Structure 1
Amino acid sequence: MTEEQWENLCRRCGLCCFEKYIDGERVIHTSIACRHLDIVTRDCRVYAKRFSVGEGCVQLTPAVVEQVRWLPAECAYVRHVKKRRQG
């Protein structure tokens, strides 16, 4: 899969752009969005330079998606990785 194909999986729901707290095994999602997220359109205002603006944005690669627990189950990346794992 190319990087462009991977990026195109994203439905731009913006759920990964909200603050989360991890309490033991629980992931607690908050309603506090990154300051660069347009909460109406769910578009990142700095998407092209999101890794250099200092907001802690994580590049979601297949390897990262397999390891993190804080992405919601409905995330297109999570669904893709899970489907790929199942064969």
Structure 2
Amino acid sequence: MKSMVPRSFVKISIWMFLLIIIGSSGMLHAIANSAGEERVEKNVIVLYGDTLWSIAVQEKPTNVDTRVYIKKLKQLNGLTSGNIMAGEVLKLPVN
């Protein structure tokens, strides 16, 4: 007895099923990796006499340019200028 389902339909269905499985496993892998990464946020309290430059020199990784670090520091804290005041708490970029 001959099957009522065309052979091409079966092939296409199998390929679609495999593509869905592969795509889903890739998405799950990406989600699992992002959930497993732990980002530790570091803050610093601005002391009298501190500048963005002095904080950057003290806190930045050795392989990062000070100017680039200051730019990230300003963006992260919503600063439009380099003016900071003693007592402010600044978030430091995490690399």
Flag the structure with higher strand content. Answer: 1
Q: What TM-score, normalized by structure 2, do the two folds share? A: 0.24
Higher RCO by CA contacts (8 Å cutoff, separation 6 or greater): 2
Structure (1/2) with the larger helix percentage: 2
